[in-house]
Amino acid sequence: MGIGNTTVNTESIAIATPRDICFVGDLSGSMNDEQRGSSRIQVAQQVTVHLTKMLQQARVPFAVTGFRNGKVEYLDNGGRTERPHFLPFKPWGKTLQQSLATIGTISHCASGGTPDYTALANAIDELAQRPEHRRILFLITDAEGYQREHMQHLQRIADRVGVTIVAIGIQSSSVVRCFVNAVAVNSLSDLGATAFNQLLKAVQRKVH
């Protein structure tokens, strides 16, 4: 399928039927950083819009949610934990057409920190409750300096409950070192790159 000058393998993104797919996007302040004339959050919004258009065409149920830091809770042991604040850009059950205006605001929502571990854990748990047995979670983030063992722990949880994680690093390659299915995207044109289509084909094989 062509997207402007970008070509993505539609059969790969359509994957297998039936399935449920959730996009979880990083809305931390660092997503406002610019590279090559575009901010990371702008690239993330473009990637989200184009992939969701293909899913809508393939009639695949999907949701789009953003996250950033929210309420800080203090624990009895003196520690603290940060709860993510979620922004539902496209809830389950709504069409892409009904949600395009909201998805179009993604590029204006970046601020604060990145509670990625908690956000991803919550997204895995939510997706695991969905009715279809093929479930795919797209993580879109620019996060660097991941504690690899923490992300690998989440990868194991996802594998156990039947959720396939596909991590897309926006102008960042840290996800490639942490997740089994991962690729770095510097601009929208990278969606047509061989590495990206190979990633989608690998996911296709896994969920069949």
The pTM for the full model equals: 0.84
For the segment 150-168, the average pLDDT, to the nearest whole number, is 91
Percent residues over pLDDT 70 in the chain: 78
Nearest to 51, CA basis, from 42, 41, 62, 40: 62
Q: Are strands 20-26 and 135-141 parallel, antiparallel or unpaired?
A: parallel
pLDDT of residue 103: 96
Higher-confidence position of 192 and 40 = 40
DSSP state of 8: -
Q: Are strands 163-170 and 20-26 parallel, antiparallel or unpaired?
A: unpaired
Token pair for 13: 């993104």
pLDDT tens-digit series, residues 56-91: 887 888 999 999 987 766 667 776 667 789 999 999
- Check if the beta carbon of residue 1 is closer than 8 Å to that of residue 116: no
For residue 202, the SS3 value is helix
Cα–Cα dist 151/177, whole Å: 10
pLDDT tens-digit series, residues 113-157: 888 888 999 999 999 999 887 888 999 999 887 788 888 899 999
Cα–Cα dist 92/137, whole Å: 14
The number of beta carbons lying within 10 Å of the beta carbon of residue 136 is 25
CA-to-CA separations, 44 to 58, 160, 201, in angstroms, rounded: 21, 28, 21
pLDDT of residue 208: 55
Which neighbouring-strand residues pair with 62? 21
Cα–Cα dist 59/14, whole Å: 9
